[in-house]
Structure 1
Amino acid sequence: MIASSLPSRLSAVAALSASLFCTSLHAQAPLQIMPLPAHATIASGSFAVAGPLPVVFTGYKEPRLERARQRFLANVASRTGVPQWATALASAPVITIHTGGPSATVQQVADDESYKLQVTRSGITLDAPTPLGVMHGLQTLLQLIELTPTGFTIPAVTIDDAPRFPWRGLMVDSGRHFISLDVLYRTLDGMEATKLNVFHWHLSENQGFRLESKAFPLLTEKGSDGLYYTQQQAKEVIAYARDRGIRVIPEFDMPGHATAMFVGYPDLASGPGPYTIERQWGIFDPAMDPTRESTYKFLDKFFAEMTALFPDAYFHIGGDECNGKEWDRNPRIQEYMRAHNLKDDAALQAYFTTRVQELVTKHGKIPIGWDEVLQPNTPKQVMIQSWRGQESVADSAKRGHNVILSSGYYIDLSEPASQHYAVDPLGKAASLTPEEKSHILGGEATIWSEMVTSETIEGRIWPRTAAIAERLWSPQDVTDQASMYKRLAIAAQTLTWQGSPYLATSSNMIDRIANGKDSAPLRVLASVVEPPKEYARPDLKPYDSSSPMNLLVDAVSPESDTARNFRDLAARIASGTASPAEHAQARQWLILWRDNDAALQPTISSSALAAELAPISRNLHDSSTIGLTALDAIEQKKPLASATSSQQLAALKTLEAPQAVLLNQTVPGIEALVTAAGH
């Protein structure tokens, strides 16, 4: 009986959720797009998308603009179901695009990305100084399309838009787990949709060197497990990105995080070797030998090859998490440090960074390094990428270094979008002069790949990275989290229409876990659990580079929308401001979750991938039972006894602990109900 009634109850809850969601959504600002533009003026009326949209270019023209038009029309068709074709004709153009002139042949940080978009009932005009602005404007126009009772329309609006920061990036780590090309291409599509403009490609790690070197072929022959990109493939990625207004910056990490390089070239390292590809995760001792001239001769030749492959002005040299232990154990290196008055490992790394910076500069590039490369004598030309925080950003800028922020944007840590959204590159810059602030160029989301594979990485990148993209694009006073979440839900749907399969992938993984059984109970559980936060996951279960990423923790979203909505709903119930419909929704949810454990048992007993879920499933049953008791007390105005309330809160404290490497995220909302019921 429980199992058979589950789908109908689930549908009823979903319908009620959708009704409440839509009511609150339309109460927000009229523009439901992400990132929000710098300036927008809403007019009356709308433009109807009822057929093909003829697009005419005036001013500067180039093939990249034509390809942008074709992508736009294909996305319009995908979003609306209204056929589009590039040769559509009309008596007058429907969309007129004027481009003032070319952008730089190799995209630059200072390139003008602004645009002006005007939509009226009769037509649309898009003006931009460069093709970059045109591409951004087309993405805004695409997001403005909405379904109304009369069909698909675009609201009449005038938008003057430009990014707040010129550096809006996403770093993808292909070193630990190799990330397939099709995933990278879809990621670039998502970056275009969210107006991100820097693809930071992390290509070397202890676990693998991922890019073909013709000068040093053993880097991939011995250091990649056969999983690497050819130079031709890298060129194609760079071209694909440029077509979308995205710069590509490679990172080859050194002097640490370089074990895979030492497998084929052990003389680069500071220890005796031999070296093997690292299969574990963490910080390891092997490091390049900064005291040998042969190291710099190797790097000079390596940089010559790689800087020729990547046209961008910037080149990332890593520099993070070198623990210096191999240096400390090497008597020859210690003697070198004494002879050259290098007092500690930080000074030796600063010496190495200076030498590397000179080589990178020799080959026409600007070096970037993580926080650790910033030392008192670090050349001002070195740009800093900060994983240590906003204080480090402000310090770097004050010392004259260009700097970008990644701390707070580590999307691999499964933190909520609201937490990322609250972090601003200028968060600690109040004391800086305008000139010092100008060194803060923006930021980058980062997806380190210890806990993701090509199958799961897109579900970790999207949609939360869209919230980071808004923080880097939109005005600083755009901070309303409720509005952000409503628009993030729309952005998530837009990303799927434009080809990202992350939602379908999650659904397919859940079906695989269900092993032919009814997957509805598993989906109910999946809708309210999350992976552990920050670096807790490896502490709960051992992982290495061969560990399968095929369990529910890998399939679920890093942030449960259902649990967040329930938490907000519970807060309104606790405060006495909830409507009768919201009380009904809370009860339906709690009954659904309470009864789900029994419905899930056939799957748990028949699938090895689901077997570990028994404790977390029972956990959800127990917490929901407590929640229903509290809701009854609130609605019947019969407060819980103090001892009962204390006992239930203590039980909930136990239930919020991870089970099956998953967190039951209904617990915070239920805690709010119990607390209110005890008063």
Structure 2
Amino acid sequence: MKLKKILIVGLSILLINKITVAQNNSAELNLMPVPYEVELADGQFRLDNTFCVGINNNDERIFKAALRMINILSGRTGICMERQFPDTTKVYKTWQMVISINRKGNLNADEDESYSLDVDENGISLKAETNIGAIRGLATLTQLIRADENGYYIPAVKIKDEPRFKWRGLLVDVCRHFIPVDVIKRNLDAMAAVKMNVLHWHLTEDQGFRIESKTFPKLHQLGSDGLYYTHEEIKDIVAYAADRGIRVMPEFDLPGHATGWLVGYPELASAPGPYSIERNWGIFSPTFDPTNEETYKFLDAFFKEMSELFPDKYWHIGGDENNGKQWNANQQIQDFMKKNNLPDNHALQNYFNIRLGKILAKYNKTMVGWYTDKQPDLGKDYVVQSWKGRSSLYESAKNGYRCLLSHGFYIDLVQSREYHYMNDPIPQDTILSDEVRDRILGGEATMWAEYVGAETIDSRIWPRTAAIAERLWSPGSVNNVDDMFRRLDIVSMQLEDYGLTHIKNYDMMLRRLANSYDITVLKNFVDVIQPIFTYDRKKYRRPKSFHPLTKVADAARPDPRVAREFDQRVSSLSVKDVNNEEIISSVTKMLDLWKNNHAQLQKLIKESPVLNEIETLSKDLSVCADIGLQAIDYMKKKLQPEQSWIDAQMEILKKAETPRGETELAITKSIKKLIEMTKKS
């Protein structure tokens, strides 16, 4: 027993050392997610127009993936490759990169995604058990490309890699605002680039039913405003995702969030209709009647139709935020509950879910559902998606259910990269048993669409979701926030190769707001503000589905990069000699810019009334910047200000933190740091 303990400790130390080396080496290589094991070597493989990729078999999926990789490399380097297509003829002497796979991968949650990648001056070798693992390796290779005065190259390296969690998903809500096919596809490309493997497609809501049904055509005819996906488009997207090793799990939300269903089929509701598409956001009462046998006949026929479009084993039934009002007011439902010993609405919904589970089992589907306020009482093949914190995740796992974490990954709430990055489903200090840990499949970022449309959705998903992708793929010990920020800035630019608009649409939206090609002063301002926490936006107006998504709050970015860089400089100043001229100069330059920007922005606001709502916030930015300059002046002179001055400035900063135009300043905490530093002058 003692020897066994020593061996376990020794293996653990070896594992930690390997991961630490991988993290340090990946920092040099700008990889995201960080691989499990990375070993740098001397030398480099030089890219030129003779680059040729060979594949050891005729697998179609890896052929397409290799072709996409060649196109990315060619586009990024400007090199016109003589061999534009991968070679499967097995003329090995012409191959500079060899891709070797043992078998075709199956699109399921337990598939092998591991790979090894070896690069030296003579060539590149990518090996994987499955073509899906090889696709993950190609994503890493694409991030390895570097440049110097002699051209483009890939550094010599040995990588062994595998995911930490088997389920690394992105939910896209296409109901509250419809998201076109091309936008879904470019986000699938980006997901593959950072090794995510599940698209959770939220297709039905109070605000819209977004999929064609040939069995029940009134669903999309009356419930979509004409904005829905045809069968052909669904098949196209599912195939597109499969080519990238990504599973597609549909969500058909039941029994609540059901207005979109009931517009066309009000007889299935728990209260008489008629119903119309909801134009507001929130939790609404329309709910399926779980006591009506016609409900189950309807859903059986619908699920049968949809199961032929979605081959994935997992099927999301929603299940959250049923307010129960229609059930409580329906005497027939209340009588049913009493007759069947169902004490409350939770028990009634559990009954409903059991019935759904039996229907889905006919089509070889496994149910996934959102955690409600209580634990389910279902078969242990049911998967619980937790959006109310890790405590509900762990409770579900301890009760024998497989689980997914989404709490902390709600990217629609416009929270910081750091917050998402440090949200580990299983922290390193966990006391969970191995059995419980194994039931935690992974997690999903969730892009709910109350405040996004086709023009803005990329900027709300990316680049923050790349940080979430690393949290779900890389070892838990990979958690250096500063290095994450550094690598994320690089990866964010690379993601533009896949057609994402998260960077380029920013200037376009500012030009529209300014009604001018010259957006300099507007950009100076918007660079250091951020949209307020999403749930707080309803305090300032009652949002509706037809409100424009073109205002300053829509153009502003979550966790803005310029504000973060300013905070990093201020923080570095706080731990160094205040006489560090380089840092002092850079901080002062930024503060001077913001102090003087308001006067110029005022002129633009007079010509573009849509900017009126942020005029006072712009003025407060100028005032805050001036406070920062005064603080630096105290530090330079090695003087400590009177407490009355400190108190007065802090009060001004507090008032400046009041949101305007559904945005807020992102640099006030940094100015407060400068004030605190004056106490040590």
Using the size of structure 2 for normalisation, the TM-score is 0.93
Q: Which runs of 5+ in 1 are unaligned?
A: 1-24
- Which residue number in structure 1 is paired with residue 68 of structure 2? 71
**Which residue of the other structure, out of 28, 31, 46, is the alignment partner of 1:30?**
28
Tell me how far apart the structure 2 counterparts of residues 26 and 287 of structure 1 sit (CA, whole Å).
Answer: 53
Tell me how far apart the structure 1 counterparts of residues 376 and 134 of structure 2 sit (CA, whole Å).
Answer: 42
Structure 1 residues 591, 232: CA separation in 2 closer, same or farther (over 3 Å shift)?
Answer: same
Question: Is the CA contact (8 Å cut-off) linking 1:530 and 1:557 kept in structure 2?
Answer: yes
- Which residue number in structure 2 is paired with residue 397 of structure 1? 397
Question: Is the CA contact (8 Å cut-off) linking 1:289 and 1:295 kept in structure 2?
Answer: yes
Question: Is the CA contact (8 Å cut-off) linking 2:428 and 2:476 kept in structure 1?
Answer: no
Q: Which amino acid aligns with 2:77?
A: T
Structure 1 residues 634, 573: CA separation in 2 closer, same or farther (over 3 Å shift)?
Answer: same
Deviation at 1:641, TM superposition (A): 1.3
Tell me how far apart the structure 2 counterparts of residues 428 and 230 of structure 1 sit (CA, whole Å).
Answer: 45
- Which residue number in structure 1 is paired with residue 19 of structure 2? none
Q: Which amino acid aligns with 2:516?
A: G
Secondary structure of 1:317's partner?
A: strand
Question: Is the CA contact (8 Å cut-off) linking 1:114 and 1:162 kept in structure 2?
Answer: yes
Q: Percent identity?
A: 42
| Residue 350 in structure 1 maps to residue 350 in structure 2 | yes
Deviation at 1:539, TM superposition (A): 1.5
Deviation at 1:28, TM superposition (A): 8.4
Which stretch of the first structure deviates more once superposed, 654-663 or 60-69?
A: 60-69
Tell me how far apart the structure 1 counterparts of residues 638 and 525 of structure 2 sit (CA, whole Å).
Answer: 30
Tell me how far apart the structure 1 counterparts of residues 518 and 372 of structure 2 sit (CA, whole Å).
Answer: 51
Question: Is the CA contact (8 Å cut-off) linking 1:360 and 1:367 kept in structure 2?
Answer: yes
Tell me how far apart the structure 2 counterparts of residues 503 and 224 of structure 1 sit (CA, whole Å).
Answer: 30
- Which residue number in structure 1 is paired with residue 648 of structure 2? 647
Structure 1 residues 247, 374: CA separation in 2 closer, same or farther (over 3 Å shift)?
Answer: farther
C-alpha offsets along residues 550-585 of structure 1, whole Å, 9 cap, x if unaligned? 011111211111111111211222344463211100
Deviation at 1:78, TM superposition (A): 1.8
- Which residue number in structure 2 is paired with residue 8 of structure 1? none
Deviation at 1:379, TM superposition (A): 1.9
Tell me how far apart the structure 1 counterparts of residues 140 and 51 of structure 2 sit (CA, whole Å).
Answer: 16
Tell me how far apart the structure 1 counterparts of residues 534 and 577 of structure 2 sit (CA, whole Å).
Answer: 34
Question: Is the CA contact (8 Å cut-off) linking 1:371 and 1:392 kept in structure 2?
Answer: yes
Tell me how far apart the structure 2 counterparts of residues 381 and 100 of structure 1 sit (CA, whole Å).
Answer: 30
Tell me how far apart the structure 1 counterparts of residues 319 and 303 of structure 2 sit (CA, whole Å).
Answer: 16
Question: Is the CA contact (8 Å cut-off) linking 1:414 and 1:531 kept in structure 2?
Answer: yes
- Which residue number in structure 2 is paired with residue 582 of structure 1? 583
C-alpha offsets along residues 162-182 of structure 1, whole Å, 9 cap, x if unaligned? 000110000000011111111
- Which residue number in structure 1 is paired with residue 366 of structure 2? 366
Question: Is the CA contact (8 Å cut-off) linking 2:25 and 2:40 kept in structure 1?
Answer: no
| Residue 51 in structure 1 maps to residue 59 in structure 2 | no
Tell me how far apart the structure 2 counterparts of residues 391 and 70 of structure 1 sit (CA, whole Å).
Answer: 44
Tell me how far apart the structure 2 counterparts of residues 374 and 113 of structure 1 sit (CA, whole Å).
Answer: 35
Structure 1 residues 577, 243: CA separation in 2 closer, same or farther (over 3 Å shift)?
Answer: farther
Q: Which amino acid aligns with 1:101?
A: R
Tell me how far apart the structure 2 counterparts of residues 301 and 91 of structure 1 sit (CA, whole Å).
Answer: 56
| Residue 610 in structure 1 maps to residue 611 in structure 2 | yes
C-alpha offsets along residues 127-154 of structure 1, whole Å, 9 cap, x if unaligned? 0111001111111001000122332111
- Which residue number in structure 2 is paired with residue 201 of structure 1? 201
- Which residue number in structure 2 is paired with residue 536 of structure 1? 536
Tell me how far apart the structure 2 counterparts of residues 384 and 576 of structure 1 sit (CA, whole Å).
Answer: 48
Question: Is the CA contact (8 Å cut-off) linking 1:390 and 1:428 kept in structure 2?
Answer: no
Tell me how far apart the structure 1 counterparts of residues 413 and 59 of structure 2 sit (CA, whole Å).
Answer: 41
- Which residue number in structure 1 is paired with residue 11 of structure 2? none
- Which residue number in structure 2 is paired with residue 284 of structure 1? 284
C-alpha offsets along residues 350-378 of structure 1, whole Å, 9 cap, x if unaligned? 11111111111121100100002863522
Q: Which amino acid aligns with 1:215?
A: T
- Which residue number in structure 2 is paired with residue 230 of structure 1? 230
| Residue 663 in structure 1 maps to residue 669 in structure 2 | no
Tell me how far apart the structure 2 counterparts of residues 27 and 234 of structure 1 sit (CA, whole Å).
Answer: 41
Secondary structure of 1:195's partner?
A: coil
Secondary structure of 1:441's partner?
A: strand
Q: How many residues align?
A: 652
C-alpha offsets along residues 160-203 of structure 1, whole Å, 9 cap, x if unaligned? 00000110000000011111111001000000101000000000
- Which residue number in structure 1 is paired with residue 13 of structure 2? none
Counterparts of residues 12-31 of structure 1 (less than 5 Å): 29-31=27-29
| Residue 594 in structure 1 maps to residue 595 in structure 2 | yes
- Which residue number in structure 2 is paired with residue 17 of structure 1? none
Secondary structure of 2:127's partner?
A: strand
Question: Is the CA contact (8 Å cut-off) linking 1:391 and 1:428 kept in structure 2?
Answer: no
RMSD, aligned α-carbons = 1.7
Q: Which amino acid aligns with 1:165?
A: F
Deviation at 1:526, TM superposition (A): 1.3
Which stretch of the first structure deviates more once superposed, 149-158 or 244-253?
A: 149-158
Tell me how far apart the structure 1 counterparts of residues 26 and 633 of structure 2 sit (CA, whole Å).
Answer: 32
Deviation at 1:91, TM superposition (A): 5.4
- Which residue number in structure 2 is paired with residue 252 of structure 1? 252
Moved over 4 A (4+): 25-28, 87-91
Secondary structure of 1:100's partner?
A: strand
Tell me how far apart the structure 1 counterparts of residues 351 and 86 of structure 2 sit (CA, whole Å).
Answer: 61
Deviation at 1:54, TM superposition (A): 0.1
**Which residue of the other structure, out of 93, 96, 120, is the alignment partner of 2:95?**
93
Question: Is the CA contact (8 Å cut-off) linking 1:52 and 1:88 kept in structure 2?
Answer: no
Tell me how far apart the structure 2 counterparts of residues 358 and 635 of structure 1 sit (CA, whole Å).
Answer: 73
Question: Is the CA contact (8 Å cut-off) linking 2:384 and 2:402 kept in structure 1?
Answer: yes
Q: Which runs of 5+ in 2 are unaligned?
A: 1-22
Structure 1 residues 626, 119: CA separation in 2 closer, same or farther (over 3 Å shift)?
Answer: same
Question: Is the CA contact (8 Å cut-off) linking 1:634 and 1:677 kept in structure 2?
Answer: yes
